[in-house]
Amino acid sequence: MDESKARQSIYAMADLVTPMSIRVAATLNLVERAGNAGATAEQLAAETGTSAPALRSLLDHLVSVGVFDLGDGRYRPTNLGAQMREDAPLGIKPLLDINCAGGRADLAFVELLETVTTGAPGYVRRYGRDFWTDLDANPELRRSFDTQMNWRYQVQAPQIAERFDWSRFPDILDVGGGEGTLLEAILQAHPTVRGRVLDLSPATTAAAERFTAAGLDDRAGTIPGSFFHPLPTGADAYVLSDILHNWDDDHVREILSGCREAAAPNGTVVVIEAIRDRGTSTAMDLFMLMCFGGRERTVDELTSQAGECGLMLRGSGQVSDERTALEFAPTRHSPV
């Protein structure tokens, strides 16, 4: 490749025009507003409260990259653009809408230099508070985050439920289990198992409604609370699914120590994570660092951290296309 083509190629990879144009279009609901019939730039500007000339420039760029078509002065979404619809099967709109938790978090990547320089999450620098505090302060952000988590797990949850022998654990506590997507799948696949979700109250309210709708309220329950507070004792398995990668090492040890204290002496701690070097996305690893100060970890790293908290690895195995389960047992003595 000659030098000029190399420059063009790397610039295309770094160009922000198209990514931000798509995100603004998703945030303004332009695909839904245009519909199959299409709409003029003036109509869309009136509906969205935006500048018609500026919006036309945005739409024209989206036409040039194949997201919209233009005919008879009307802009219509293409099949590619239709992926931004709220009801599109891929469900990616919350990841693009900058008013939703996922899209908002992605914008913090403009602070990546600060993150790489200091190791601190760029999210805090951009928004003045960490991601979780931001969700607590804005119920709409919290709802969009829970919706995003449900979307992420719509394929993973049934696989995890079927590929791991949950029947060994009559009583499960899903720690930080959100709206109960995973626990519902586990209980559906294992009729002898009972379980509860522990999470903050907005999520547990939705989880309770989910269990009732699924006819599982006789075997499923919820506990409003934080996994940084003492956990209920007596469960056979304490499940941490997609939790640890959201946190730095100190917080990971705090979470694991809390599970160990609750699980001792005979319970089990099941950690389900995307494992570094097992097909995990480097982009996701960088996102975890930028947003939370967390990271994707190897089995050895998770095992070492668990060992510091009085937990011994009993076994591990892949339980979905993208997740591995690590099963830990409390050691005889608490860590010093």
Catalytic entry in 61, 190, 245, 251: 245
Q: How far apart are CA 96 and CA 331, in angstroms?
A: 44
- 330 preceded by a cis bond (ω within 30 of 0): no
Q: How far apart are CA 257 and CA 252, in angstroms?
A: 8
Task: State the maximum Cα–Cα separation within the chain, in Å, rounded to a whole number.
Answer: 76
Return the closest-CA partner of residue 269 out of 306, 214, 216, 225: 306
In degrees, rounded to 5, the angle at the alpha carbon of residue 295 between the alpha carbons of residues 251 and 127 is 75
Query: How many helices, marked H, and strands, marked E, lie in the chain?
Result: 16, 9
Q: How far apart are CA 23 and CA 92, in angstroms?
A: 11
Q: How far apart are CA 294 and CA 131, in angstroms?
A: 12
Q: How far apart are CA 220 and CA 234, in angstroms?
A: 16
What does the block give as tokens for 142? Answer: 């919290």
CB 278 within 8 A of CB 300: no
> What is the identity of the amino acid at 204?
T
What does the block give as tokens for 67? Answer: 């997201």
Residue 321, CA distances (Å) to 187, 190, 225 in order: 20, 20, 30
Annotated active-site residue 245? The verdict is yes
Residue 191, CA distances (Å) to 183, 201, 219, 304 in order: 12, 26, 9, 34
Q: How far apart are CA 288 and CA 32, in angstroms?
A: 31
Please give the positions annotated as active site.
245
